[in-house]
Structure 1
């Protein structure tokens, strides 16, 4: 009888565990009228900001310094002397570079014109830059040097921080960071973008949470846009479906 009771207790406990709800994914959009005027997310002062060594994209006259957060493993108080190396592992690499594209989770980019010592930040506002793409073929054909960014610039889920759980947006700038301009609409998630070289157009898609459920799903509306890169970067809509 004792073993039977133990077996039944185990079954009940297992059932309770199996019925436990999994934690919900962090939404990318939170709607709260009381927080409409919520200020921009503050910089996390607990993070240590570092820059990768500069990157030079061939054909340009700038060095690019990626800036991000130092990742520390094994200790909450990082030290940089040799005696602490065994206890603390620090990842100083914050970005990856390949053929004109920089990827990572970057807090800023800083541009330095070759031949000068002046270093200029892309933005003075909180950002989380996930990819930076230099449009090499456009530059070769038109002499216009344009950079495409995918980044988060708003705390759309209102959790007080800017991270990958916030909406991703599309930006353009000139090489050197000038004319930084947002192309996608606020509160619309960037799906993807594509350069059509023959037309010097950049096409992109966004999705809007039209039913206001805090998720991007099949019930929401996809928007289609393109930009004439040789013009004034005006975003134009088109309707393929």
Structure 2
């Protein structure tokens, strides 16, 4: 019995075949592209707004639940605004019912985690956190905490319409935020949109 005929591929033919297979794989991947998943709604009291949390479907399928954005929905007009943090930040937490006024609206606080901080492209406890603010209609998104400083804790002061927060700077540049690094305290005045460092000073002498 004669062996089946086998024709070796010429370099150009092989290259064209590889290009065809690559294009076909890309098309198939595009057809299976995940759509954003809206799976949680929060009513903003005393406003017309409802906020939907947007998750990456690909991450949900892996059980990771990566929140990629917020959809601010005006239930009176039906209009919506989608808010995403600038790369490489990913939403880590939100505070949607804070008191105060920011650009004549209710403020929404967003904590963002820098996925690229420790160069593993995923958010974990060692990554830098930053403080962001936007309005209840999804306008005026800005980062409040200084760049490169890790958010430790924050509080809204309703009486003075101000955010007070603590950060930790990577002062020894070892890529970590620990007891060796310097703590800083700030006040962000929402009305003026002004950030003021707090002078912690030296301890007062005992009398």
TM-score, length of structure 1 as denominator length? 0.60
* 2:196 matched residue in structure 1: 236
Deviation at 1:150, TM superposition (A): 0.8
The structure that has the greater radius of gyration is 2
* 1:133 matched residue in structure 2: 95
CA separation in 2, counterparts of 1:210 and 1:132? 28
Give 5+ residue unaligned stretches, structure 1. 1-44, 74-89, 95-104
SS at match of 2:61: strand
Count residues with an aligned counterpart. Answer: 165
Change (3 A) 1:180 1:154: farther
Change (3 A) 1:117 1:143: closer
Deviation at 1:143, TM superposition (A): 5.9
CA separation in 2, counterparts of 1:162 and 1:62? 31
1:13-162 alignment, distance < 5 Å: 49-70=36-57, 71-72=60-61, 105-123=66-84, 125-126=86-87, 127-138=89-100, 144-153=105-114, 155-159=116-120, 161-162=121-122
Among candidates 143, 153, 161, match of residue 200 of structure 1: 161
Deviation at 1:65, TM superposition (A): 1.1
* 2:184 matched residue in structure 1: 223
* 2:127 matched residue in structure 1: 166
Aligned residues: CA RMSD: 2.7
Change (3 A) 1:235 1:124: closer
Deviation at 1:119, TM superposition (A): 2.7
Asked if structure 2 preserves the Cα contact closer than 8 Å seen for 1:156 and 1:187, the reply is no
CA separation in 1, counterparts of 2:100 and 2:82? 24
Change (3 A) 1:216 1:198: same
* 2:204 matched residue in structure 1: none
Relative contact order (alpha carbons < 8 A, sep ≥ 6): 1 or 2 greater?
A: 1
CA separation in 2, counterparts of 1:49 and 1:221? 39
Deviation at 1:137, TM superposition (A): 3.1
Structure 1: 4+ residue segments shifted above 4 A: 45-48
Deviation at 1:149, TM superposition (A): 1.1
CA separation in 2, counterparts of 1:124 and 1:204? 20
TM-score, length of structure 2 as denominator length? 0.69
CA separation in 2, counterparts of 1:109 and 1:215? 29
CA separation in 2, counterparts of 1:220 and 1:150? 21
